[in-house]
Structure formats: structure tokens, C-alpha cells
Amino acid sequence: MDFSLSDEERAVRDTVRAFVTREVVPLEDEVLRNERAGRPPLPDGVLTALQEKARAAGYWGVTTPPEYGGMGLAPVMHAVLEMELARTFVPFRFGGSADNILFAASAAQREAYLLPTIAGERRSCFALTEPGAGSDARNIRTRARRDGADWLLDGEKTFITGGDAADFAILFARADEGVTAFLVDRDRGWTSTPIPTMGEWSCASVVFDGVRVPADAVLGEVGGGLELALSWIGQGRYVIPARAVGAGERLLGMACAHASTRESMGHPIAEYQAIQWQIADSQVELEATKWLTLHAAWQAQTGRDARHATAIAKLHGAETANRVVDRVLQIHGGMGYTRELPIERWYRELRVLRIYEGTDEIQRRTIARNLLRGHVALGVIGD
């Protein structure tokens, strides 16, 4: 087995790491000041300028197919890049990407939604989760009913990432033929309300009250929306543990540096076994997450059914990130609990990894069912 990256892949990783270190990490103090003053982390102009710098270096639409102007990176390198981006809590993402299901758009929809989203001119939100249907996407209640040549949409979505900033929604609603995806401009009449969270995750409640859309607003096939939704969610389940690795390694580095300089009872605390074990356990768990994540991404990249592998990676990564940040805070003692250091910010932010894109409980249910029903076999390597 060859676990090495190619020269080209290493160059991509190292360039992104250098960009994050040089351009993004220095903004962390400003992000903390703004958030603690109740302001947005960074002005849109700052984030746009960063994206343009990255674009000038060739980083635009990292997973967007080349025919749409993107890099078209495969899942393994996508995971590696997410690890690098997650080494900072500055809310920076490369521009030029769109929800992958937008590539199912018709020619007219590509012109109206996909291409402007890739260009950074439009913002979408993925409106699937409801107050009574979180992990159980098959139980959504938002309705879509025909009215002549149009559709009328009624229902409420909740915890929708970017829902308050989006100018169009990818809405999933239940029609007579089954769950269907719709592209719905905000000016059609849907409304949104921000939901305050304990972290910096920006989400909203989105309401559709008799919103009328034409027949050509359907994305894909009528009744085919659930398959589209699950294809999007599947990608997130290797991205999330990748981000857990990047954040965890940054935090572990902070713990090692602090333990080497902080003295207690005449010795650096790094000399005490209680501290050493916390550092060792964190390294072991992060390494396990890293390879579980890359294996899941490799399965997706090679056309295998990656659902079981991504469930394992997502579960392990989300729980690991939370254990690591808890240990790092403990190693820093009282200072870790204050807002003078960013650890408490990481602590709040990482907690959501165990909830969105499928809770820990749902991942365990998926893993157990696959084993109990014989969908996966134990002791298999490389298949």
C-alpha cells in the first residue's frame, strides 16, 4: 500500500498550508474582537479579498469541474485541503463552489443559479432539515402541491446553514410523487430568521407560506429529491472529520507549546505523566481520524459505496475533536477557560460536529444496521 501523496498533491497541500498561515491565521485576533463585540467575524469585503487572492494563486472552485472553471479536485485531495483550512477558526472558504446537486440543473437553471453561484454572485442554502425531521430526512412535512402549471410550497425549515444570507434556496418538499427539490428565489416570498447558537455556526429558520414557483423550478426529476439530498450529505461526512483533524492538530500544537513552558511545582507541566497521557491520547485519536477520513474519501473517489466508511469517519472525527479540545482546555487550566485565549471559542465551535450532517446517534445506527443486516463484512481489506 502506498500512502504517499504525489509531487503535485504535496505541492497543492503545501501551497494551501502556506496561504492559510500567511493570509488567514493573522486575522484570528480581529475575528475574536468582532465576535465578542457582537459583530460579524469579518466584513464581507475582507473575505472576498482573501478569496480573490486565492483565486489568483489558482484556488477557485476546488471541487468544481474544470469545465465550469474549477480545479476539479477528487475527494482525497478535497479532504486534505479541508484539513489545512480547519487549522484556523477564521471562517474562510475558497470561492467558486456550489452545492454539488446544482450540477443536476437544466441548461436554463445552470445559467440562472449554478454559474452565478460558482462566480460568487449568488448565494444558496440547502433547505432540508425541519423542526420534526432532522436526521430522518424521509419524514419531511413541507408540502409541494400543483396549482395549474405552478407549484405552491408550504412549510418550515430549521437550522439552515446560511439561510439568512442566501438569495435562493434549494428546497426539499413532499409532492404526491415523492420528495422533490426546488430552486426558489428569495423574492418569491420565503422568509428567514437567524437562530442564535452557542458557536459561530450561522443558521436560520426558513418559512415558505404559499410560495408560488413555476414548473421549471424543479431541480432534477419530480420525486427524485431525496436521492439528490443524500448525495450532498454523503460528501459532508468526509469533510467534517477532515476539518476535525485540522482543528485538532492545531489545538494539540497549542497544548504542547503551553505544556513545555508552563511550570508547576518547579517543573514544566510537560514532565508530568497526567499531561503526557492527554497529549498522547489526542495524537493517537487524531491519527486514527485522519486515516479513517482519507480511506472514506478514497472509497468515494474510486466509485465504491462509501456510506459505511464515511459514517465511521464522521462519528470518530466528531467525537475526537471534542475530546481533544476538552483536553487542551484542561492543560491550559484557568486560562483555557477565559476569553483571553481562543480555546473556549474552539470548544463551542467543535461541539456542533456531533450534531449536523447526521448526529452521532445516527452514525451509530447506520454502522450497526450495516453490520447486522450483512451489508458490510468484517475483516475485509482493500475491496
For residue 87, report the phi and psi dihedrals to the nearest 5 degrees: -75, 0
DSSP-derived letter for residue 187 is: G
Show Cβ contacts of residue 222 under 8 Å, excluding neighbours closer than 6 positions: 175, 177, 178, 180
Contact between residue 347 and residue 323 where contact means Cβ atoms under 8 Å apart: no
Q: Is 361 a catalytic residue?
A: no
The C-alpha atoms of residue 84 and residue 87 are separated, in whole angstroms, by 6
Among 332, 198, 19, smallest CA distance to 324 is for 332
**Residue of 30, 177, 357, 361 with catalytic role:** 357
Place of cell 501523496: 5
What is the rounded distance in angstroms from the CA atom of residue 290 to the CA atom of residue 246?
9
CA-based max dimension of the chain: 81
Q: Are 41 and 202 in contact (CB under 8 A)?
A: no
Grid coordinates belonging to 288: 486514527
Residues in the chain: 383
DSSP 126-175: EE--BTTBSS-GGG---EEEEETTEEEEEEEEEEEETTTT-SEEEEEEEE
DSSP state of 6: P
Give the rounded distance of the alpha carbon of 177 from its chain centre: 30
Q: Tell me which residues are annotated as active site.
A: 357
